[in-house]
Structure 1
Amino acid sequence: MKDVAVVSYCRTAIAKARRGALNQTHGIPMAAHVMSEAISRAHIAPQEVEDVVLGCGLPEGATGHNIARNAALYAAFGMQVPGFTINRYCGSGLNAASVVANRIAAGEMQIGVAGGVESISLVQFNLNLNHFVYEPLQQKIPAVWWTMIQTADFVADKYQISRESQDKYVVESQRRVAAALKAGKFAEEIVPFQTVMSVRNKESDEVSDKNVILVEDEGPRPDTTLEGLSALETVNPGGTVTAGNASQLSDGAAAVVMMDAKLAAQRNLPILGLFRGMQLSAVAPKEMSIAVTPAIKKLMRHHGISMTGVDLWELHEAFAVTTLYNQAELDTPWEITNVNGGAIALGHPYGMSGIRYLGSTLLELGRRGLHHAVIGICTAGGMSTAAYLER
């Protein structure tokens, strides 16, 4: 099996769904933009790409019709470059990277693009719900159709993770994001994106178009306080999830270029790190947040990794309760866990997030002169993806 190198990574800044800069940007130009920049950063020609695999949590409407192939066409990669769209909800991006990596490792190709894209603004609020629920399965396992907030509330209640502990975690996560912003860490991965957004006048209720260039993540709130979070109402009566301790609905796209590591070295390309592999797990749908732990344990067994052999941990911030549960179960040191904050502050475009974790974690390993990282992402339906990275 061949080693698989990640030779470039970039992303759009993450925009707030419905209210942000990408609120009327189609998924095709969004994905094509980061794919083109990733190719440029990798110093390869577009026609050298042998496959494009994009993850998307909601592959319909503005992100439907096999957006991977269409984005590759729009990016002018050439008619000969195929594309494949994959959906495992929040784990879609990391699965896309795994598909590309496996084909390279098997010797089936040498160069591929993996990415993730989500337009929650244009898709989530206009979903095709015709025959969405299959009643025989719903009667057996109702939680298959629960909202993710319901699953988070269930986990918080079952495992006694308090509202106060969740809010305290958010304050620290926002602080880490603010520190990363100040250090210019996110600017290193963001490629500016020019687009047109829809703006509603609060006084007149008139809607107009506005030309914008998205260069910074719109979600972070560095002034977040425990008092402010404590004042927020819970989404569900009797629950603990609020708008402050859940990841933000967001739009965005990200991409990496992956190559046969030997070829990348021969060309003296900027290798960010190696994609060593991915593992999956599944639990009861109502306990979605806890699925990260078994996925990571399976990954570590497969690769023979010890806890002391991991330099950085990235545990998905779907909700504060998600990170708190998995950090406690795995006993990862806080000082090397989610070191630059996470999706609660930055936002969570479902299909994009796995690629963001992959790229940003490799960059952080490089900044710190470290070598090994583990990523864990829970996903709707009670599943999780986990990946092992080396630099």
Structure 2
Amino acid sequence: MRDVAIIGYCRTAIAKALRGAFNQTHGIAMGAHVLKEVVRRAGVAADEIEDVVMGCGLPEGATGHNIARNAGLYAGFGKDMPGVTINRYCGSGLTAASMVANRIAAGEIKTAIAGGLESISLVQFNMNLHHLIYEPLQQEIPAVWWTMIETADYVAKKFGISREAQDEYVVKSQRRVAEALAAGKFAEEIVPMKTTMLVKDRDSGETSEREVTLEQDEGPRPDTTLEGLAGLEPVNAGGTITAGNASQLSDGAAALVMMDAALAAQRGLPILGLFRGMQLSAVAPAEMSIAIAPAVQKLMRHHGLGAGQIDLWELHEAFAVTTLYNQRELETPWETTNVNGGAIALGHPYGMSGVRYLGSTLLELERRMAQRAIIGVCAAGGMATAAFLER
């Protein structure tokens, strides 16, 4: 089996859904934008790419019709470039990377792109709901169709994670994002994108179009305080999940170039790190947030890793309760867990997030001259993905 290197990474800035810069940007445009840039950063030619695998949590409408293939065509990669779109909800991006890595490790291909994208603005609020629910399964397991907020409220109550603890975590995460922004860490990842957004006048209600260039993430709120968070009403009566302690609905895209590590070294290409593997877990759909811990534990057993061997941990901020539960179960040190904040501040375009975690974590390992990292991402339906990276 061959080692698999990640030799290029980039992403768009993350825009707020509905109100942000990408509120009418088609998924093909976002995908093509990062595909073109990532091959440039990797130092490879487009015709060397043997496949494009893209994760998407809601692959329909503006992100449907095999968005990976179409984004590759629009990027100018040529008619001979295949592509496939896969969906494991929030775990789609890590799954895309695993699919590419497995083919390279098996010797079937040498170079390919793993990506992820989401246009919540154009898709989530326009979804095809015809026969969405299958009543026999709903009667057996109703939580399959719960909202993610319902699952987070359930986990917070069942496992005793208070509203106060969640809000305290958010303040810490927002502060870490602000520090990373000030240090220019996210700017290193982002490829600015010029687009046209729809703007609505608050007073008149009239809409107009405006050309913008999105260069930095729209979501961070560095002035977040405990007092401000405490004043927010729960989304569901009696619950603890609010707009402040949940990840933000967002639009964006990201991509990685992955290559046979021996070939990358032979050619002197910039190896960011090695993708060592992915493991999965599944729990009751109502308990989605707790699925990261068993996925990470399975991953560590598979690779013979001890907690003391891991330099960085990235535990998905689907909700503050998600990170708090899994950090507690895994006993990861806070000083090496989500060191640059997460999706609560930055936003969470479902299919993009896993790819962003891979790329940004490798960049942080390099800054720290560290060696190993583990990423865990939960996914709708009670699942989780976990990946092991090494420099």
- Please classify the TM superposition score into its range, dividing by the shorter chain length: over 0.9
1:168 paired residue number: 168
1:207 paired residue number: 207
Give structure 2 stretches of 5+ with no counterpart: none
1:74-85 pair list within 5 angstroms: 74-85=74-85
2:260 paired residue number: 260
Question: How many residue pairs were aligned?
Answer: 391
1:312 paired residue number: 312
Q: How far apart, in 2, do the equivalents of 1:76 and 1:46 lie? A: 8
Partner of 1:195, secondary structure, is: strand
Q: Deviations over 1:124-160 (max 9, x none)?
A: 0000000000000000000000000000000000001
Q: Deviations over 1:151-203 (max 9, x none)?
A: 00000000010000000000000000000000000000000000000000011
Deviation at 1:51, TM superposition (A): 0.3
Q: How far apart, in 2, do the equivalents of 1:35 and 1:151 lie? A: 34
TM-score by length of 2: 1.00
2:155 paired residue number: 155
2:123 matched to 1:123? yes
Which 4+ residue blocks in structure 1 deviate beyond 3 angstroms? none
Q: How far apart, in 2, do the equivalents of 1:200 and 1:29 lie? A: 23
Aligned residue identity for 1:311:
D
2:59 paired residue number: 59
1:283 paired residue number: 283
Deviation at 1:18, TM superposition (A): 0.1
1:372 paired residue number: 372
Partner of 2:357, secondary structure, is: helix
Q: How far apart, in 1, do the equivalents of 2:35 and 2:184 lie? A: 22
Partner of 1:184, secondary structure, is: coil
1:241 paired residue number: 241
Aligned residue identity for 1:174:
Q
Partner of 1:189, secondary structure, is: coil
Q: How far apart, in 2, do the equivalents of 1:203 and 1:142 lie? A: 42
1:315-334 pair list within 5 angstroms: 315-334=315-334
Deviation at 1:307, TM superposition (A): 0.3
2:218 paired residue number: 218
Q: How far apart, in 1, do the equivalents of 2:82 and 2:262 lie? A: 24
Q: How far apart, in 2, do the equivalents of 1:150 and 1:380 lie? A: 11
2:190 paired residue number: 190
Q: How far apart, in 2, do the equivalents of 1:319 and 1:174 lie? A: 13
Deviation at 1:206, TM superposition (A): 0.5
Partner of 2:335, secondary structure, is: helix
Output the aligned Cα RMSD. Answer: 0.3
2:181 matched to 1:181? yes
1:296 paired residue number: 296
Aligned residue identity for 2:122:
L
Aligned residue identity for 1:77:
F
Deviation at 1:78, TM superposition (A): 1.1
2:140 paired residue number: 140
2:30 matched to 1:30? yes
TM-score by length of 1: 1.00
Partner of 2:358, secondary structure, is: helix
Partner of 2:116, secondary structure, is: strand
Aligned residue identity for 2:118:
E
Q: Deviations over 1:110-131 (max 9, x none)?
A: 0000000000000000000000
Aligned residue identity for 1:301:
R
2:385 paired residue number: 385
Q: Deviations over 1:291-331 (max 9, x none)?
A: 00000000000000100000000000000000000000000
